[in-house]
Amino acid sequence: MTDNWPYSVYHSNEGFYRFASEPVVADLDRDGCSEVIFTSWVQKFSSGLRLGKLHILDCHGNMLYEQNLPAPKSSSRHENGALPAPTIADIDSDPDYELVINTINSGFIAYDLPGSAGAKIQWQSGRNRNADLKKKITVAPMMHLLLHK
């Protein structure tokens, strides 16, 4: 299969700029070709509605899935999107993983990742901590920053 890297989220026919978040990586269906999962956000607008998307690419940079993120919660906002990397985690204890996304104008959202129960998670979040999930995480340095601001 032909590689489609670099993958561009900007398409001039949309008429506005679209930017991409950091990615996470997982072979969701364990076919040996890892999926690259990220979100996008859009140029600010004063009217109309422009939405960022959830993007899932295959290991060759071909789009497998794209879906608009929700509309802004406030009617005074005209755009939505997500800047940080999504996080892959099982948040409801069903067999499949979910994708948790921090959006600009609609809060935290979560999507099911159907059929992902046996997924091979390679890069789980923006601060990838899945190298050893059983290992205790130390947050002391960040706590220090927060407490002594």
Of residues 66 and 94, the one with the C-beta less far from Ca ion: 94
Is residue 112 within 8 Å of residue 90, measured between CB atoms? no
Can you read off the two tokens belonging to residue 39?
Answer: 């979100």
The end-to-end CA distance of the chain, in Å, is: 51
Of residues 5 and 45, the one with the C-beta less far from Ca ion: 5
Of residues 22 and 96, the one with the C-beta less far from Ca ion: 96
3 makes contact with Ca ion (CB under 5 A): no
Minimum CB distance to Ca ion, residue 16 (Å): 31
Site residue total, Ca ion (CB under 5 A): 9
33 makes contact with Ca ion (CB under 5 A): yes
73: Cβ contacts below 8 Å, ≥ 6 apart: 105, 106, 107
27 makes contact with Ca ion (CB under 5 A): yes
Minimum CB distance to Ca ion, residue 98 (Å): 5
Q: x/- binding map, residues 66-105, to Ca ion, per CB under 5 A?
A: ------------------------x-x-x-x-x-------
Rounded to the nearest 5°, which phi and psi values hold at 52?
Answer: -70, 175
Is residue 36 within 8 Å of residue 28, measured between CB atoms? no
Our CA dihedral for 85, 37, 19, 102, rounded to 10 degrees, sits at: -40
Rounded CA-CA distance 146/42 in Å is: 31
Is residue 120 within 8 Å of residue 33, measured between CB atoms? no
Of residues 49 and 117, the one with the C-beta less far from Ca ion: 117
22 makes contact with Ca ion (CB under 5 A): no
Of residues 30 and 77, the one with the C-beta less far from Ca ion: 30
Residues that bind Ca ion (CB under 5 A): 27, 29, 31, 33, 90, 92, 94, 96, 98
